[in-house]
Amino acid sequence: MPTVFERIVAREIPAAIVHEDEWIVAFRDIEPQAPFHVLVVPRTPIPRLRDAGPEEAGILGRMLLVARKVATEAGYDDVGFRCVLNDGPDAGQVVPHLHLHVLAGRGFGWPPG
């Protein structure tokens, strides 16, 4: 059963895509937690970070570079942005397809909730 992100990557369901390349698709979160909230998703459906091995080093690096690109393009390079990767139930991961949240446009507290 494909996840919602696999279906977005396959263009089976719509999303507001802000970046795509051979490895990565990035699109706006449907329930934004900040004025800017984008999800950076590898095309390959790795369920969780714990499932990534050394062979995924390249894709993990690319996810961070795309996070920087979309935040910079949206004008948040100076004020900054936050990247969040939820892994597993305690972290609140809902969709079992590795993804990086990129949030910007407001101040964020620390520690996170």
Q: Would you name the residues annotated as active-site residues?
A: 99
Say how many Å lie between the first and final Cα of the chain, rounded: 31
Q: Does 93 bind ligand AMP (CB under 6 A)?
A: yes
Q: Does 95 bind ligand AMP (CB under 6 A)?
A: yes
Selected binder of ligand AMP within 15, 24, 34, 38 (CB under 6 A) = 15
Site string for ligand AMP, 61-90 (x = CB under 6 A): -------------------------x----
CA distance to 1, 14, 69, per residue, from 17 (Å) = 23, 9, 14
Q: Does 10 bind ligand AMP (CB under 6 A)?
A: no
Q: Which is nearer to ligand AMP, 54 or 111 (CB)?
A: 111
